[in-house]
């Protein structure tokens, strides 16, 4: 800022004046700066006080932190001392810088004597030798104690202090080593037993398949542990049933499986087989124990199979007897009708034979007269007399009637022969072997037997289809058809109709026998094939007819179904497969 004093001055004075003004302005600036500096000083002083307080607080915090670090260090050292594993810190040359209490305890030396010594030296002093190495690990064995240790190394780097080294841990691995070896031995034994079990199961499976395919119940699981009892127990009693014989399973042949039969023949007797040394040795191995259980099972199956075979044979004989009795009972019921059927042809055969006898007498007399006349023939008068005698004796009629009489008699004889043959077939015990047969012929032969039972109250209509021959038991099927036809006839109270139809389809033969009788109530349809169940009056049925019918059809691998309506009639349908002759 310039100041004008209003007084004229020279150039030099003017210059001085300018200098003074400049100096004055400088002074003013300095004063202003002093004012500013004083203000800044106060601010700086206040900042210094705040910084000092902050530093004091931070110092206190650092003291606390140092104490925490110190405590943490002590805590970590105590923690490391509590660890059961031995821990060592070494420098790059393998000199020990730190160690925990476990290592000091293991060496038996104080801490200050351990520091600054090489760690490998301690291993040698304590008889620890390296057995295996893998990477940064090694397995150590202490020969003096027989203990095993696992050693691991970890790189250690301190970048701030530039002091690299190694952290070493040593773990007592003895218990784990022992357990591992035991597990390995156990696993080896398990694998061996598993393989033995697999081998045993394969053998048992093969035996089972053999039983299944060949029905051989005499197979047994081979057991090399089965010995001779008199050798195992040093027995010299020659009267024993086992003495001098090969290995035997007395628990099967003489033991509880055979109901304790013959125990008195043994030198030694046990209440249970588990007390016997022979049984113990034979079943000591689990595989052979399973094998002996299999053998016991097969022994029981063999015995039961024999019992079943005997029971089946007896049942089959009983069934054959019952079937034969039912046949004879059925024939007995039809006996009167069959007798009538035989009496009819026998009646006219007898009548025809009587007539033929008379004819023969007349013809013989005429021939004698004709012969005598021929010897004394004297002409026309005698020829006329012979003609008159021929007329009187009806020689021409006799000659014409002889051939029909003979044919009718032969036909009647054939009819009797057929009826007798059918009766013989029905009365015969069932043949064991099947043979090819025409089902239509079986039905026809059955009709000839039961016709007299049916003809008075039913008309029989037949619709036979073309059927192939099939292997079967014809006599048994005749029994089936007879039972169904007789039942159909008895179901018709007044005049009715019986329809027989046969056909072949899809490899099977079908036979349906229908009647227009009274029908069967629905609640009885499920019971009609049960033995001894009958809907007839007492004395008119055994209750075995339909039961035997059902069994015979099943024996031929067939099916029989029934459809009935009360008041309208009943239809039985039989289906049997076509079996070609080998």
Angle at 20 between CA 18 and CA 23, to 5 degrees: 110
Arithmetic mean of pLDDT, 88-93: 88
H, E, C per residue of 529-575: CCCCCCCCCCCCCCCCHHHHHHHHHHHCCCEEEEEEECCCEEEEEEE
User: Alpha-carbon distance 291 to 200, whole Å?
Assistant: 7
Q: What is the DSSP letter of 465?
A: P
- Name the one residue in this structure whose structure tokens are 């001098």: 244
The pLDDT assigned to 266 comes to 63
- Name the one residue in this structure whose structure tokens are 């044979």: 313
Q: Which of 186-190, 368-372, 462-466, 536-540 has the lowest mean pLDDT?
A: 536-540
User: Alpha-carbon distance 170 to 167, whole Å?
Assistant: 10
pLDDT over 70 (residue 381) = no
Contacts of 157 (CB under 8 A, 6+ apart): 164
User: Alpha-carbon distance 154 to 150, whole Å?
Assistant: 13
- At the top level of CATH, which class does the domain 83-172 belong to? alpha beta
Q: Which of 250-259, 373-382, 447-456, 572-581 has the lowest mean pLDDT?
A: 250-259
Arithmetic mean of pLDDT, 243-257: 63
Strand ranges in 364-447 using DSSP code E only, listed in sequence order: 435-437
What is the pLDDT confidence band of residue 59, given thresholds at 50, 70 and 90? Answer: confident
| 3 state SS of 6 | coil
pLDDT over 70 (residue 209) = yes
The pLDDT assigned to 557 comes to 92
User: Alpha-carbon distance 560 to 481, whole Å?
Assistant: 12
User: Alpha-carbon distance 468 to 520, whole Å?
Assistant: 33
Beta bridge partners of 154: 167
The pLDDT assigned to 162 comes to 63
Strand ranges across the sheet with 508-515: 458-463, 496-505, 508-515, 569-577, 559-565
User: Alpha-carbon distance 200 to 197, whole Å?
Assistant: 5
pLDDT over 60 (residue 544) = no
pLDDT over 50 (residue 389) = yes
Arithmetic mean of pLDDT, 133-161: 84
User: Alpha-carbon distance 458 to 449, whole Å?
Assistant: 15
What is the pLDDT confidence band of residue 538, given thresholds at 50, 70 and 90? Answer: very low
Instruction: Report the share of the chain in percent with pLDDT over 90.
Output: 11
- Name the one residue in this structure whose structure tokens are 């694998």: 191
What is the pLDDT confidence band of residue 373, given thresholds at 50, 70 and 90? Answer: low
Q: Taking a C-beta distance cutoff of 8 angstroms, is the pair 233, 268 a contact? A: yes
Average pLDDT, the chain: 75
Arithmetic mean of pLDDT, 277-290: 74
Most confident of the ranges 76-80, 134-138, 419-423, 515-519: 515-519
Q: Taking a C-beta distance cutoff of 8 angstroms, is the pair 290, 204 a contact? A: yes
| 3 state SS of 164 | coil
Which of residues 350 and 98 earns the better pLDDT score? 98
Contacts of 460 (CB under 8 A, 6+ apart): 447, 454, 497, 498, 499, 500
pLDDT over 50 (residue 148) = yes
What is the pLDDT confidence band of residue 515, given thresholds at 50, 70 and 90? Answer: very high
User: Alpha-carbon distance 303 to 218, whole Å?
Assistant: 10
Of 328, 388, 293, give the one whose Cα is nearest residue 544.
328
Instruction: Report the share of the chain in percent with pLDDT over 70.
Output: 69
Which helix (DSSP H) or strand (DSSP E) does residue 182 occupy? helix 174-214
| 3 state SS of 471 | strand
What is the pLDDT confidence band of residue 151, given thresholds at 50, 70 and 90? Answer: very high
Q: Which of 68-72, 321-325, 471-475 has the lowest mean pLDDT?
A: 321-325
- Name the one residue in this structure whose structure tokens are 């109901």: 259
The pLDDT assigned to 259 comes to 38
pLDDT over 80 (residue 481) = yes
Q: What are the tokens at 352?
A: 């025809």
Which of residues 369 and 521 earns the better pLDDT score? 521
Beta bridge partners of 560: 574
Arithmetic mean of pLDDT, 330-343: 58
Instruction: Compute the radius of gyration of the chain from its Cα atoms.
Output: 64
pLDDT over 80 (residue 42) = no
Most confident of the ranges 62-76, 353-367, 375-389: 62-76
Cβ-count burial of 94 within 10 angstroms (0-12 exposed, 13-18 middle, 19+ buried)? middle
| Residue range 434-582, CATH number | 3.30.565.10
User: Alpha-carbon distance 542 to 329, whole Å?
Assistant: 9
What is the pLDDT confidence band of residue 333, given thresholds at 50, 70 and 90? Answer: low
Arithmetic mean of pLDDT, 333-346: 60
Which of residues 368 and 518 earns the better pLDDT score? 518
Most confident of the ranges 253-257, 319-323, 402-406, 465-469: 465-469
Of 443, 430, 439, give the one whose Cα is nearest residue 555.
430
Q: Which of 176-180, 310-314, 320-324, 389-393 has the lowest mean pLDDT?
A: 320-324
Of 359, 373, 520, 338, give the one whose Cα is nearest residue 446.
338
Q: What are the tokens at 321?
A: 């007897």
The pLDDT assigned to 397 comes to 74
| 3 state SS of 512 | strand
Phi-psi bin for 532: left (phi > 0), alpha (psi -120 to 50), beta? left
């Amino acid at each position: 800022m310039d100041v004008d004093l209003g007084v004229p001055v020279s150039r030099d004075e003017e210059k001085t004046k300018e200098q003074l003004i400049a100096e004055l302005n400088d002074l003013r600036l300095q004063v202003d700066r002093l004012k500013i500096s004083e203000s800044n000083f106060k601010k700086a002083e206040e900042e210094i006080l705040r910084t000092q307080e902050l530093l004091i607080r931070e110092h206190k915090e650092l003291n606390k932190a140092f104490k925490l670090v110190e405590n943490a260090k002590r805590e970590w050292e105590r923690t490391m001392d509590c660890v059961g594993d031995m821990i060592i810190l070494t420098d790059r040359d393998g000199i020990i810088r730190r160690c925990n209490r476990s290592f000091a305890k293991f060496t038996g030396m104080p801490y200050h004597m351990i520091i600054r010594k090489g760690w490998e030296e301690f291993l040698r002093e304590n008889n620890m030798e390296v057995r295996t190495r893998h990477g940064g690990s090694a397995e150590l064995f202490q020969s003096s104690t027989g203990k095993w240790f696992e050693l691991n190394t970890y790189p250690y780097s301190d970048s701030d202090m530039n002091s690299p080294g190694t952290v070493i841990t040593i773990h007592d691995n003895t218990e784990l080593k022992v357990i591992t070896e035991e597990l390995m031995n156990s696993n080896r034994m398990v694998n061996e037993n598993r393989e033995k079990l697999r081998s045993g199961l394969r053998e048992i499976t093969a035996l089972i398949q053999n039983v299944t395919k060949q029905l051989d119940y005499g197979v047994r699981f081979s057991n090399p542990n089965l010995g001779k009892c008199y050798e195992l127990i040093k027995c010299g009693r020659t009267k024993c049933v086992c003495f001098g014989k090969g290995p035997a399973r007395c628990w099967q042949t003489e033991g509880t499986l055979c109901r304790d039969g013959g125990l008195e023949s043994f030198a030694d007797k046990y209440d249970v087989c588990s007390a016997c040394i022979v049984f113990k040795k034979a079943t000591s191995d689990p595989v052979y124990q399973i094998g002996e259980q299999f053998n016991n099972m097969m022994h029981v199956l063999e015995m039961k199979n024999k019992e079943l075979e005997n029971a089946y044979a007896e049942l089959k004989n009983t069934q054959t007897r019952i079937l034969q009795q039912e046949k004879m009972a059925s024939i007995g019921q039809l006996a009167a009708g069959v007798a009538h059927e035989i009496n009819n042809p026998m009646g006219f055969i007898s009548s025809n034979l009587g007539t033929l006898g008379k004819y023969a007498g007349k013809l013989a007399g005429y021939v004698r007269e004709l012969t005598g006349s021929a010897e004394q023939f004297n002409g026309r008068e005698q020829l006329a007399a012979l003609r008159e005698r021929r007329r009187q004796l009806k020689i021409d009629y006799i000659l014409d009637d002889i051939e029909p009489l003979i044919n009718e008699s032969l036909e009647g004889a054939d009819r009797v022969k057929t009826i007798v043959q059918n009766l013989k077939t029905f009365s015969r015990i069932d043949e064991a072997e099947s043979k090819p047969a025409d089902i239509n012929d079986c039905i026809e032969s059955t009709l000839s037997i039961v016709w007299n039972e049916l003809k008075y109250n039913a008309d029989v209509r037949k619709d036979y289809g073309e059927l192939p021959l099939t292997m079967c038991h014809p006599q048994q099927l005749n029994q089936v058809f007879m039972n169904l036809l007789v039942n159909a006839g008895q179901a018709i109270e007044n005049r009715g109709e019986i329809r027989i139809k046969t056909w072949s389809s899809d490899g099977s033969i079908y036979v349906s026998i229908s009647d227009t009788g009274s029908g069967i109530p629905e609640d009885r349809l499920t019971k009609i094939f049960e033995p001894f169940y009958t809907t007839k009056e007492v004395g008119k049925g055994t209750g075995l007819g339909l039961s035997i019918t059902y069994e015979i059809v099943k024996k031929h691998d067939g099916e029989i179904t029934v459809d009935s309506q009360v008041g309208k009639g009943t239809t039985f349908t039989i289906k049997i497969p076509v079996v070609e002759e080998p």
